[in-house]
């Protein structure tokens, strides 16, 4: 079984909807956890790991699995230079 590419930390997510608004693939939705709190959940099937959600998340709740923050930022900066 393959690990998720991108994951939202339910402890950090504040359900601000920013990630949902910017995701070009519609891969993020809010789900209810622990009976009351809503948090972002990212569909591994729809997500192409573009990094937009992680870059814009004000709570820094979205992380790429298996990558350090510095590696992700370097990839985003390289794409912006194109």
Instruction: Return d(Cα 81, Cα 59) in angstroms, integer.
Output: 26
H or E segment to which residue 6 belongs: strand 6-8
Q: Are 7 and 65 in contact (CB under 8 A)?
A: yes
Write the pLDDT tens digit of every residue in 27-73: 999 999 888 899 999 998 999 888 899 989 999 999 887 777 777 77
Residue count of the chain = 82
pLDDT of residue 78 exceeding 70:
yes
Nearest-CA neighbor of 16 among 49, 40, 34? 40
H or E segment to which residue 40 belongs: strand 37-42
What would the CATH number be for the domain defined by 6-80? 3.30.70.20
Spans of all domains in the chain:
6-80
């Amino acid at each position: 079984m393959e690990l998720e590419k991108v994951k939202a930390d339910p402890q950090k997510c504040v359900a601000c909807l920013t990630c949902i608004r910017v995701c070009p693939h519609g891969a993020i939705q809010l789900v209810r956890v622990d009976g009351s709190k809503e948090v972002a959940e990212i569909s591994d099937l729809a997500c192409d790991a573009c990094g937009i959600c992680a870059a814009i998340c004000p709570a820094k709740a979205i992380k790429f699995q298996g990558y350090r923050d510095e590696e992700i930022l370097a990839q985003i900066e390289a794409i912006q230079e194109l």
